[in-house]
Amino acid sequence: MASLLVDPAMRVFAICAGILVLKMLLTANLTGILRTSRRVFASPEDYRFFGAEPVAQPDEQIERIRRAHRNDLENILPFLVIGFLYAMTGPSYTVAWWLFVSFTVARLLHTAVYIAGLQPWRTVFFGIGSIALYAMTLIVVVRLI
């Protein structure tokens, strides 16, 4: 294994990164499953392929999952690089562990409460993830300038 992954903070980062990407892949699969079972598609060839009548109105549950997924693109994807750079700055293991794990747990719960439509919890978990990501990003910039 490459020496980078031997570092304990990098190891926690890589596990968190993997868990969050699995979550994103499952979110994509959930969209696909709902599209097929509800017969609401984005492209005309899908209606033809499934022999379904085109639906003019988007399905609210599917759009909700797509909003959760886009929110992941805006937050989890930057984390996948910033978390790595942060782990390379040689942070305290305890601080790194807390930042990685709180970001990961907050983003898992964000998807769950987004799909369930629970406010203010969606904003709370978005906020926790956001604060962790701001903290890591600021540490990277400040330590390297």
Q: Site residues (CB under 8 A) for its own copies?
A: 1-2, 4-5, 7, 11, 14-15, 17-19, 21-22, 24-25, 28-29, 42-46, 48-49, 64, 67, 69, 73-75, 77-78, 80-82, 84-85, 87-90, 114, 117-120, 122, 130, 133-134, 137-138, 140-141, 143-145
DSSP state of 5: G
Q: Which is nearer to its own copies, 24 or 98 (CB)?
A: 24
What is the chain's Cα-based Rg?
Answer: 18
Least Cβ distance, residue 95 to its own copies (angstroms): 15
Among the listed residues 125, 116, 111, 122, the one whose alpha carbon sits nearest the alpha carbon of residue 20: 111
Looking at beta carbons only, is 98 or 115 nearer to its own copies? 115
Q: What is the largest CA-CA distance in the chain?
A: 59
CB of 14 to its own copies, least distance (A): 5
Instruction: Assess whether the previous peptide bond of 58 is cis (omega < 30° from 0).
Output: no
CA 145/CA 140 separation, integer angstroms: 9
The residues, ordered by sequence, that sit 6+ positions from 38 with a Cβ below 8 Å of its Cβ are 59, 61, 62
What is the nearest approach in angstroms of its own copies to the Cβ of residue 98?
A: 18
Tell me the closest approach of the beta carbon of residue 21 to its own copies, in angstroms. Answer: 5
Output 6 or 94, the one with its CB closest to its own copies: 6
